Amino acid sequence: EEGEGPCSVFGVSEEAAPFLIAALTQGQKSALVVVASEREAGKLADRLSPLCDSAVIELFPREIQFRSFFARSRELADSRIAAIDRLVLGEPCILVACAEAAMQRMAPPSAFAAAELSLSPGDRAEQTELAGKLRAAGYERVAKVDAPGQFRLAGSLFDVFPSGAKTPYRVEFFDDEVDGIRAYDPETQRSTGSASSVRIPPATEAPLSPEAVARGVERLKEIGRKRALSPLCERLSTALTGGDGDVAD
């Protein structure tokens, strides 16, 4: 009743579970509900949504893919990032997760929060440095921005599609100062209205700070020395830093 500590409930029927959970979480800032399988998590989230005042979010388990992009993986990754972003911001929600998703290790909230960027007219930002921060935060530099997690720099224009956003934004620079911000349609490239600011959360679960990159490089060197893998670890270190100390794409 006082909202302290975990609560394990057994023997509740599938039909009654959503009502019991809604009652237990009433008035709570946030709650995590763990069930056995991904199928159960989806069903429970659908049934909980109309019963709860707070947003009900399903946390999918992370997929491991051994190739760069895979349609469903990107969709799942975006879903997980949106859930993490909401938790880091402290926005009330009920997170429903299967056991697999709940057990997967995640980056510290401080690392996710530190990688967030925000731009408003009048702010100053050196564009090369801005591009490096976006790459470290999981964004992909492209020729044309048409999907979340992408950005483009072209002269005084900076296009970005923030993770979790419904529309991309075009930031106009005058030298290193933000001169204006507009939302736009990625298909027509036409402006849909000005914006007072644009918030750019990370597009990856594990954004890389310069300190994290340095620790990774040192660890790779240590592994290389111990296990006679120096050439491989050296190549990985170079790829991680882009060869010049900056975080690679």
pLDDT tens for residues 193-242?
Answer: 889 999 999 998 888 777 777 887 788 778 777 766 667 667 776 766 65
3-state secondary structure 195-234: CCCEEECCCCCCCCCHHHHHHHHHHHHHHHHHHCCHHHHH
Instruction: Give the model's pLDDT for residue 186.
Output: 85
CA-CA-CA-CA torsion sign (45, 50, 51, 56) = positive
Nearest to 216, CA basis, from 190, 198, 242: 242
- Work out the percent of the chain whose per-residue pLDDT is above 70: 86
Q: What six digits make up the tokens of 92?
A: 């009330």
Phi, psi of 123 (to 5 degrees): -70, 150
Q: What six digits make up the tokens of 210?
A: 């310069």
Each residue's pLDDT tens digit, 96-118: 999 999 998 888 888 889 889 99
Using alpha carbons, list the distances in angstroms from residue 76 to 65, 118, 192.
Answer: 12, 25, 28
Instruction: Give the model's pLDDT for residue 245.
Output: 45
**pLDDT: which is higher, 70 or 242:** 242
Nearest to 134, CA basis, from 99, 84, 169, 186: 169
Each residue's pLDDT tens digit, 110-158: 888 988 999 999 999 888 888 888 988 889 999 889 888 999 988 888 9
Cα 148 from Cα 81, distance rounded (Å): 11
Average the pLDDT over 171-181 and give the result.
Answer: 90
Cα 144 from Cα 73, distance rounded (Å): 21
Averaged pLDDT score across all residues of the chain: 83
Average the pLDDT over 57-66 and give the result.
Answer: 78
Instruction: Give the model's pLDDT for residue 37.
Output: 92
For residue 70, pLDDT beyond 60? no
Phi, psi of 233 (to 5 degrees): -65, -35
For residue 66, pLDDT beyond 60? no
Q: What six digits make up the tokens of 173?
A: 């620079």
Residue count (the chain)? 249
| Strand 93-98 relative to strand 55-59, pairing | parallel
Average the pLDDT over 36-53 and give the result.
Answer: 92
